[in-house]
């Protein structure tokens, strides 16, 4: 567990997303959960060593399975944006691991089986504040990677958790994204939080250069998709974008297949959602 400030920590040892925790006199505010139940139990045990009150709150930064599959194992009240809560209302009650190939980290977790989702019990629309100490913790809606993506902002220690807005040394998840909103959220981050410690959902602490690199990549993908659609190309020609995008990332050999699947799945679903929309996929989160 890495300390970023007094009573603010992150953990990167579990497969899935970067976890966060804020230990306050009133209790623990946890940010995301590992997808594996076994890792969830280990994480809960580690949190017992922190000096905090008895209350527990879990914030889901969006509805992606990598950060929400293990939410029930954390055994506490869950908070998320209303669009994320809506995602759970559109899902079956139980998750079943069926060998999906989305390039998500949960797909490499052994023995997941069937898991009951834990929908958020508290949701918000624009902004929410949690005042469990002498400094508030803010939750803000910043869509782009998903409709319900949000940030956790700590103004006093100047730390911000941004979820999948930026991913470090790996391709982004595109299936549930809105690229124009994604760029808008990246611009807001670069304009308003230059002096903050920025924690991304996959890769831990990052710099503004990482944010700028992510913006360039998202802008490039948007431009390529725009050119493709303006040429009135058939949906199948999305294949022409996949290989160049895969080639643009330096992937470790052990991640080559996973990240290639992520890009392929993401682009296909992006085109389906934005150019062949249906009511059933409108609010999906990857």
User: What's the CATH code of the domain at 225?
Assistant: 3.60.15.10
281: in domain: no
pLDDT for residue 236 is more than 60: no
pLDDT for residue 17 is more than 80: yes
pLDDT digits (tens, 9 = 90+) for 193-205: 999 999 999 999 9
Closest alpha carbon to 17 in 49, 86, 65: 65
User: Alpha helix locations (H) across the chain?
Assistant: 37-47, 65-68, 82-89, 179-192, 208-230, 239-247, 256-275
280: in domain: no
- What per-residue confidence (pLDDT) applies to 256? 87
pLDDT digits (tens, 9 = 90+) for 148-160: 999 999 998 999 9
pLDDT band at 162 (very low <50, low <70, confident <90, very high): very high
pLDDT for residue 85 is more than 60: yes
Q: Which domain holds residue 43?
A: 2-275
Q: Which residue, chain included where needed, has tokens 């527990």?
A: 56
8: in domain: yes
CA distance 73 to 66: 14
pLDDT band at 28 (very low <50, low <70, confident <90, very high): very high
pLDDT for residue 31 is more than 50: yes
CA distance 203 to 20: 12
- What per-residue confidence (pLDDT) applies to 37? 85
Span 28-44, average pLDDT:
92
Q: Which of residues 94 and 160 earns the better pLDDT score?
A: 160
Q: 49: buried, middle or exposed (CB in 10 Å: 19+, 13-18, 0-12)?
A: exposed
Are the CB atoms for 216 and 209 separated by under 8 Å?
A: no
250: in domain: yes
282: in domain: no
Q: Which of residues 239 and 116 earns the better pLDDT score?
A: 116
Question: Lowest-confidence range among 96-105, 171-180, 229-238, 274-283?
Answer: 274-283
162: in domain: yes
Span 94-102, average pLDDT:
76
Mean pLDDT of the chain: 89
Total number of domains in the chain: 1
């Amino acid at each position: 567990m890495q300390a970023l400030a007094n009573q603010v920590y992150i953990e990167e040892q579990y497969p899935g997303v970067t976890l966060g925790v804020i230990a306050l006199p009133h209790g623990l505010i946890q940010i995301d959960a590992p997808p594996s139940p076994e890792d969830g139990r280990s994480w809960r045990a580690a949190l017992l060593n922190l000096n905090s009150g008895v209350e527990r709150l879990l914030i889901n930064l969006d509805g992606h399975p990598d950060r929400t599959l293990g939410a029930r194992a954390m055994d506490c009240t869950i908070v998320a944006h209303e669009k994320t809560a809506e995602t759970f209302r559109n899902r079956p009650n139980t998750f079943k691991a069926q060998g999906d190939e989305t390039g998500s980290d949960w797909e490499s977790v052994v023995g997941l089986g069937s898991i009951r989702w834990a929908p958020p019990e508290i949701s918000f629309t624009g902004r929410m504040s949690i005042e469990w100490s002498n400094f508030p913790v803010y939750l803000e809606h910043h869509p782009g990677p998903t409709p319900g993506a949000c940030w956790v902002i700590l103004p006093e220690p100047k730390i911000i958790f941004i979820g999948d807005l930026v991913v470090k040394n790996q391709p982004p998840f595109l299936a549930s994204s809105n690229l124009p909103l994604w760029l808008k959220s990246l611009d807001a981050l670069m304009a308003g939080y230059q002096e903050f410690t920025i924690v991304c959902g996959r890769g831990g602490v990052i710099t503004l250069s990482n944010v700028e690199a992510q913006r360039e990549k998202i802008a490039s993908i948007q431009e390529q998709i725009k050119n493709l659609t303006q040429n009135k190309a058939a949906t199948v020609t999305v294949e022409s974008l996949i290989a160049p995008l895969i080639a643009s990332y330096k992937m470790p050999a052990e991640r080559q297949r996973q990240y290639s699947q992520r890009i392929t799945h993401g682009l296909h679903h992006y085109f389906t959602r934005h150019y062949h929309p249906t009511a059933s996929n409108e609010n999906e989160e990857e």
